[in-house]
Amino acid sequence: MTTPTTAELLKYADLQMAAEAFLKTLGAENYSGDALKAALVRGNDHSSKFTQTQAEEFEKNWKVLDQKANTKTGFSGTLFQNRTNGELVLSMRSTEFIDDAARDNQATNNLEIRKTGFAWGQISDMQDWYKNTLAKTGGPLEGKSFSLTGYSLGGHLATAFNLLNPTAASQTVTFNGAGVGQITQGTLNQALDEFNLMRGGDTVLIAAKLNDSVLTGHYNAIRTGLANASMTYTSAQTYLDNAYSATGGVSGKALELWQMLGDMKTIADLAVRVNTLTASATDSSHPDLVAATVIAALNLDYRMAVYLSGQSSKSAAIISGAVQAYGSKAMLGIPVTNTALLNQFDVVADTSPSMVANSQWHYGKNVRVTIEDQPLYRGGIVLSAADQSWDYGNVELLVDGYANKDFGDTHSLVLLQDSLNVQNTLLQLLPPDQRGSTAQGVVRAILNVASNLVKTNGDALFGSGQGKAEGNVLENTLNALADLVLGPVAAKALRLTGSTDGGTWADIGDENSGRTRFYNLLKQIQDSSLFKKAANGTLTLQLATPTSELATLARTDFGAYAALYSLSPFVLKFGTSAAEAEVKALWGNIYTDWATTDTHPSTVSDQWLKDRAALLERKTTTTSATPATTAASPAPGGQKTPTAMPSTTCTTKKTSSGNGKKAPPTRPSSAAKPLAAPATWCLVVRAMTQALPVVPTMTACTVALAPTPTSSAATGAKTLCATPMAKAASPSTATALAWPRP
């Protein structure tokens, strides 16, 4: 299999970003023209969106054939077609962490992928859409070749699609995609067929799989009670408690049913609660309200179908998930008959940890892409999430003020898209036959020296600090490129500053660092005469990283001189006199001054060249003293050196009440709350940093947090004991939530 070029990766990233947008709303199909452009600019109403410049370019090249709007499981996918060559691309939407937390994050990521390895409901809806709409007789994909993309949760869905349809997709590209579990009995197709039957209310199949006539009777009674509203989730749990009180309490499969009811209450409560959250103190927007009637996981047959189908699968173990987050993916072999998986590529941000991108098991080939590194956490998210999780008896990572209290920004598709745009622009300067893997390595090296900033994390516990990002790498590169192809005088008014503030990576409208101005400058570069001539091969150029001999070379090599003048992270080399003549015209008097230094050396002195070279070296060398502190040079294995979160060592033990279930949580008094909230830090930190599930049966955590809380009840490292946060049958052995980035 041939790895996609940077241009191809960018094409797929743009299509995936378009699939994140809501193109079909309330029956309206915003599939072309101004309606499509407006929908792309609106995006997902959060971070994943196009600038106006991007939207106009996208609409010129692509049209939407169909979008499956959110189903009751939260699934959504979009089918695109190229206007020129008819190319077809099918894209699966990611987790809507903010607006669809109940369906996407809690029901799908937590209760399905984390526990069983597969998003059964969304996979079912995806396959139904493909088989019965897209690939049916007369459908847009009937007998057609097409490519497949997915981001985050969408990457999980794309992989599952290829497992179910092993010869359908000609090429698959996922972006920071979650992996999949493994089927332990039969095949995924067989398990999905049974899931569909049980989800649809096949009580005979459910009874056969439960293989317990007494439990089946109770299940049917609860099923009827929930349907006619004579029972609530809580009263149904009480019904089970009473039914089994004489036989030692609820246990085994009955306990699983008891837990399902608790899970359903959690989902229902979450759907209501998130609508009360606001983005920040200055932004009163809030998540959408998702009605209970459109949440599939609030149907008992659905929840039982997930549980019983999960008996045929497994998810990655907790420990391996932690290792994978900071290390490498767990890869599975590909059957030679599965041509779709043989041509699957997983694009991941070249940072560490890679939580979702490394979660579960993966197929295909890893493709690492350099991005501007971001704080791992900010705004006091750990303390806010811990306190909220304690209040609600469930791990809650979406908190009030979520715009500033967040984590895992490096997972964003926006960062990949912006970086790929700059990388592709640099590569287009080279002759077409020189834009392969070797040149891509040079471009990565250029980005790695484009800034001396090193990211610093924001506040984890106390305070609202957003941390510092490696936020000017792309801007520095574009500024230098603009100098070259537009001329320093014209480029001066267009210069970008970038923002090193954490949480600003997706800003659109900022005058100096927003993505609107970023893409406007990028378009002017690409529309310039010199760029077009280089891109079509009329001019021959080469790229290289700066060297220690730059001051000496600058006397005879204008490309070296231009790098010093612009403090550029790259050196442009002219393959022909025509190329140099083009630059000469753009640089005007600056070029003339350089060219006359042989007769008038004082125009550009040796000392100026040395000083400029020293300044460039300082600007492109990462130092630990740099105020904004992501390591610019790769660590072993190609990942950037991770910055550690507050460390946690957690111990677990089972506790239960007399009936075999875990004892319910006891809310401490207000005086005890300073101790109670830190008791949950261990769980929340672990859920965020290792992409592991919080183990509900945890009752003791040895927590080493820095900085330590100021409360005398929770200073230093100590063992904090609390009653369990939520009822569960047993500790989960599953791994990662699909990453909750918008």
Summarize pLDDT for 330-374 with one digit per residue, the tens. 899 999 999 999 999 999 999 877 666 778 999 999 999 999 999
Orientation of helix 413-427 relative to helix 437-448, angle to 10°: 120
**For residue 717, pLDDT beyond 70:** no
Orientation of helix 120-129 relative to helix 153-164, angle to 10°: 60
Of 137-151, 351-365, 366-380, 495-509, the range with the lowest mean pLDDT is 351-365
Contact indicator for 429, 534 with CB cutoff of 8 Å: yes
**For residue 236, pLDDT beyond 70:** yes
For residue 653, the one-letter residue type is: K
Q: What was the pLDDT predicted at 359?
A: 84
Q: How many CB atoms lie within 10 A of CB 152?
A: 31
Residue 89 structure tokens: 């691309």
Q: What was the pLDDT predicted at 652?
A: 36
Q: What was the pLDDT predicted at 687?
A: 57
**For residue 694, pLDDT beyond 70:** no
Of 74-78, 505-509, 510-514, give the range with the top mean pLDDT: 74-78
Q: What was the pLDDT predicted at 618?
A: 86
Contact indicator for 600, 552 with CB cutoff of 8 Å: no
* Chain length of the chain: 742
Q: What was the pLDDT predicted at 658?
A: 42
Q: What are phi and psi of 480, to 5 degrees?
A: -65, -40
Instruction: Name the residue with higher pLDDT: 732 or 396.
Output: 396
Of 197-211, 215-229, 560-574, the range with the lowest mean pLDDT is 560-574
Q: Residue 317 — very low, low, confident or very high, per pLDDT cuts 50/70/90?
A: low
pLDDT in tens, 78-132: 999 999 999 999 999 999 878 888 999 899 999 999 999 999 999 999 999 999 9
Provide the whole-model pTM: 0.86
Q: Residue 137 — very low, low, confident or very high, per pLDDT cuts 50/70/90?
A: very high
**For residue 698, pLDDT beyond 80:** no
pLDDT in tens, 658-677: 444 444 444 333 333 333 44
Q: What was the pLDDT predicted at 718?
A: 29
Contact indicator for 468, 456 with CB cutoff of 8 Å: yes
Of 23-27, 467-471, 492-496, 591-595, the range with the lowest mean pLDDT is 23-27
Q: What was the pLDDT predicted at 227?
A: 97
pLDDT in tens, 34-47: 999 999 999 998 99
Strand pairing report for 77-82 and 88-92 = antiparallel
pLDDT in tens, 450-477: 998 889 999 998 899 999 999 999 999 9
Residue 5 structure tokens: 């070029």
pLDDT in tens, 556-570: 899 999 999 999 999
**What does the mean pLDDT of the chain come to?**
83
Contact indicator for 739, 660 with CB cutoff of 8 Å: no
pLDDT in tens, 239-255: 999 999 999 999 999 99
Beta partners for 368?
Answer: 348
**For residue 12, pLDDT beyond 50:** yes
Q: What was the pLDDT predicted at 634?
A: 30
Smallest CA-to-CA distance from 114 within 333, 3, 263, 242 is with: 263
Q: How far apart are CA 531 and CA 381, in angstroms?
A: 44
Smallest CA-to-CA distance from 425 within 470, 474, 473 is with: 474
- Asked if the bond preceding 353 is cis, omega within 30° of 0, the reply is yes
pLDDT in tens, 650-660: 433 333 444 44
pLDDT in tens, 612-646: 999 988 888 764 334 333 332 232 233 333 334 44
**For residue 738, pLDDT beyond 50:** no
Q: How far apart are CA 358 and CA 371, in angstroms?
A: 17
